[in-house]
Amino acid sequence: MLRQKETEEAIKKHITYSTLGPTEINMATFWKIFKTIVLFFGCAVLGVYYSMTGPLLPDLKIMVNADYEEIARVVSAMNAPFLLSTLMGGLISDSYRRYVGLILFIAQLIAVIGLVFTPWCRVLWLLGIMFFLQGAGVGPFTSGGNAWIVWLWGADSDAPVHSFHFGWGLGAFLAPQLTKPFVSETFTWRNETQNNSIIKITNSSEDDGNNTLTYTTEGYPLYPYSIMACVAFVYSLLYLMLYFQERNEFMNNETKQMEMDQKDASDKENNTTREDQIVHERSDKLMHRIKQALSPSSCGRGETSFGIQMSILVFTYHFLIVAGERSWGQYLYSYSKESNLGFTSADSSDLHSAFWLCFLIGRGVATLISKWCPPNIMVTGELFALLACSIVLVSFPKSVLVLWIASCAFGFFIAPLFPGGISIYNQYMDVTAMVLALSQGGAAFGSMLWNWITGKTAHRIFYRFAHMIEDIKF
């Protein structure tokens, strides 16, 4: 009888190694690792098409005939649907865990639509709609994907969570290199004509005061957006495959549970009664899951006030951290190229890639260190290092060397803060999809606000804006 009760509990939990044979255990481990790898590269794909907006920003600005203040409002339009879709994705993922793969598939398709039509927009409001679709597609992945990793690994999720976010850094590092051959280039030279010949140059301007000419080549944002739309669509099919795999697994477990229920019943009448009871139980469980997902006590381990306090801290923490990461990542290319520091488009792309490479290394190092170093100590040290970077950047705003060094340091130290925060509050509260959605919501709101402030400031003063913004935040 004791063994039978243990078996029943194992089936209700869907996967328990105490009741699985060696082959089943190996398959369960295989799917666990495979899903983690898929989510890792899915985060990398997301990192590419989300981060390539930064290097393409000057070309998008020219494409819709806007200034940085106007284009900043459009880029911020990506974060409002990101915020809403993250919260909705967290709620749906918590209520229907076995449908997470399907949710990610649908979300990716929405993002693909935005990617396909972005380079064809010639008016500002239409470009805003395409960014809106991209943000709506990214949101469910951040909440559902994070939650999926935590559900897969449970208490051992620290390293997998860091690895998952490591994928974002990989994608963000590749984004400037993907766009590098397709961005516009601006050439400036002195007009030292010594004869009467006249050279006609398109897309050029002449400054009679200092006798110089500038010429801007044409950018081709169509190609990087088309490439990433194809990659994102193909990758979305993997999420659909994982959905069907989990669906089959769930149905097999349901069949086993029904067989055990029928075996325990003494006659057909009892069987019928039991089947009706199961239907009612499922309906009650669904409503209970929805109420539980929305209740602060579900993450506060039964304490509502503690859950509310922790939720506020989670939102505020990610609001500030991601605000710095996203605004710097979006405008570093434009700042280095247009602030008279002598950067060419290739130099700006390399600087942008260097920032994301150090971001990637920071995620990787944090993944290794997180096994031995408490996350509280890691996050505190990283915050002080970021403050030091901000002070150095403000003190030497026109130094190319300082910009390179501080940008790399900034990327290295800011990278572990997001997964580090998850590891910290995982010690004090139950991390549900709604908690992760709340963290992503704070990130989206911070990114939306600071992207707009940074763009507005960039339109006014392009020399010191980035350093001042980062210093204010940290």
Residue 318 · residue 433 · CB < 8 Å: no
Identity of the amino acid at 177: Q
Q: Calculate the average pLDDT of the chain.
A: 74
Banded pLDDT at 105 (limits 50, 70, 90): very high
Tokens describing residue 462 = 């392009």
Q: How far is 403 from 77, CA to CA, in rounded Å?
A: 29
State the virtual CA torsion across 425, 430, 436, 441 in degrees, nearest 10: -80
Q: How many residues are there in the chain?
A: 474
- Could you tell me which residues are beta bridge partners of residue 207? 212
Residue 172 · residue 206 · CB < 8 Å: no
**SS3 letters across 292-338:** HHHCHHHCCCCCHHHHHHHHHHHHHHHHHHHHHHHHHHHHHHHHHHH
Q: Which pLDDT tens digit goes with each residue over 88-97?
A: 777 777 677 7
Residue 354 · residue 404 · CB < 8 Å: yes
Helix, strand or coil, per DSSP, at residue 256: helix
Q: How far is 139 from 79, CA to CA, in rounded Å?
A: 9
**Who's near 285: CB < 8 A, 6+ residues apart?**
none
Neighbour-count burial for 415-431, b at 16+ CB within 10 Å, e otherwise: bbbbbbbbbbbbeebbb
Identity of the amino acid at 69: E
Q: Which pLDDT tens digit goes with each residue over 145-158?
A: 877 887 787 767 76
Q: Is the pLDDT of residue 80 over 80?
A: no
Banded pLDDT at 253 (limits 50, 70, 90): low
Q: How far is 95 from 75, CA to CA, in rounded Å?
A: 31
Q: Which pLDDT tens digit goes with each residue over 405-429?
A: 988 998 899 888 887 887 787 777 7
Taking phi first (over 0 means left), then psi (-120 to 50 degrees means alpha), and beta for anything else, what does residue 214 get? beta
Tokens describing residue 354 = 């260097």
**Who's near 473: CB < 8 A, 6+ residues apart?**
320, 323, 324, 390, 450
Residue 49 · residue 114 · CB < 8 Å: no
Banded pLDDT at 208 (limits 50, 70, 90): very low
% the chain with pLDDT above 90: 7
- Helix or strand holding residue 204 (H, E): strand 204-207
Residue 228 · residue 115 · CB < 8 Å: yes
Helices 53-63 and 124-153 cross at an angle (nearest 10°) of 160
Tokens describing residue 80 = 């409002």
Q: Which pLDDT tens digit goes with each residue over 22-60?
A: 555 566 777 788 888 888 898 899 889 888 888 888 888
Which residue ranges make up each domain of the chain?
A: 23-184+219-254+275-473, 185-218
Kindly report which listed range (163-177, 241-255, 378-392) carries the lowest average pLDDT score.
241-255
- Could you tell me which residues are beta bridge partners of residue 189? 213
List Cα–Cα distances, 363 to 160, 307, 383, 448, in angstroms: 11, 28, 15, 24
The CATH number of 23-184+219-254+275-473 is 1.20.1250.20
pLDDT value, residue 215: 60
Tokens describing residue 154 = 């449970």
Tokens describing residue 342 = 């002598």
- Could you count the other beta carbons within 10 Å of the beta carbon of residue 227? 17
Kindly report which listed range (47-61, 222-236, 340-354, 444-458) carries the lowest average pLDDT score.
444-458
Query: Which of 9-18, 84-93, 341-350, 431-440 is most confident?
Result: 341-350
| Bridge pairing between strands 212-216 and 204-207 | antiparallel
Q: Label residue 455 exposed, middle or buried (CB < 10 Å: 0-12, 13-18, 19+).
A: buried
Instruction: Assign 3-state DSSP to the chain and report helix, strand, coil percentages, each to 5.
Output: 80, 5, 20
